[in-house]
Chain A
Amino acid sequence: SQQGEEDPQALSIQEGENATMNCSYKTSINNLQWYRQNSGRGLVHLILIRSNEREKHSGRLRVTLDTSKKSSSLLITASRAADTASYFCATDYNTDKLIFGTGTRLQVFP
């Protein structure tokens, strides 16, 4: 399977702390995306980073991509209780499809 792996599987932090989750993938990609899923709902797109980019920001989100290590990280700064969700990375592996990882469950305590 080419499915990516998120690490850690679960993360619990206090409000105000930063949350970092990682994604590793198997072969070359055109882009890597991060999605959020609130409990029992659909996924929401957060950010897309292309293979020739190293870092991208969107509000409190910072995504990095290291193609030599085939890995990406998602940093959420100053976490809020509303950030509690599952976070998934998705890679294209130079195809027209996305392969989703198994996700990181983030719990932010008030």
Chain B
Amino acid sequence: DVKVTQSSRYLVKRTGEKVFLECVQDMDHENMFWYRQDPGLGLRLIYFSYDVKMKEKGDIPEGYSVSREKKERFSLILESASTNQTSMYLCASSFRGGAGTQYFGPGTRLTVL
């Protein structure tokens, strides 16, 4: 079974802090994705990556950056957290082609105070 893990289930940070969200997949997938999920808005794509050291902006990249130094790990970075970044963050991976089946981690609920 594909397993996607995220570093924290719940996280509370202060405004202005730098926040790292880590995601690891164990199935040698090329593609990895970061989404945020907000009530009434569904999932929105922040960034995605097709290969190591490659990254592409999604629909809402502002205020975020990403890092993919190893194939299995994709990190989302909030350079200076703000209250409007309070959300559920979901990581996903897929084997080949971003539009194929995606496998999701359990999510990180981030609260920025």
Taken together as a complex, chains A and B put the C-alpha atoms of A30 and B103 apart, in Å, by: 19
Query: Which residues of the other chain, B, contact A35 by a CB distance below 8 angstroms?
Result: 104
Q: Whole-angstrom distance from the CB of B47 to the nearest CB of chain A?
A: 11
Residue of A nearest to B101 (CB): A45
A101 touches B42 (CB 8 A): yes
A100 to B46, CA, bound (A): 13
State the majority secondary structure of interface residues on A.
loop
Q: Are A45 and B103 in contact (CB under 8 A)?
A: yes
- Which residue, B40, B41, B100, has most C-beta atoms of chain A within 10 A? B100
Are A97 and B101 within 8 A (Cβ)?
no
Q: Is A33 located at the chain interface by the 8 A CB criterion? A: yes
B49 → chain A, closest Cβ, in Å? 11
- B: contact size bracket: 20 to 34
Chain A residues with Cβ below 8 Å from B41 are 102
Tell me which of A40, A48, A95, A98 contacts B109 (CB under 8 A): A40
Q: Is the CB of B106 within 8 A of A97?
A: no
Contact B42–A43 (Cβ < 8 Å): no
Q: Is B61 an interface residue (CB 8 A)?
A: no
With A3-B42, A88-B42, A88-B43 as given contacts, are A43 and B90 in contact (CB-CB < 8 Å)?
yes
For the complex formed, measure the closest distance between the CB of B6 and the CB atoms of chain A, giving whole angstroms. Answer: 8
Task: Answer whether residue B12 sits at the interface, using C-beta atoms and an 8 A cutoff.
Answer: no
Q: Give which listed residue, B42, B88, B90, B99, contacts A97 with CB less than 8 A.
A: B99
Chain B residues within 8 Å of A99, by CB: 45
Cβ distance B72 to chain A, nearest Cβ, rounded Å: 17
B99–A92 touching, CB < 8 Å: yes
How far in angstroms is the closest Cβ of chain B from A36? 11
8 contacting pairs across A/B (C-beta < 8 A): A40-B88, A42-B107, A44-B104, A48-B101, A95-B99, A100-B35, A100-B43, A102-B42
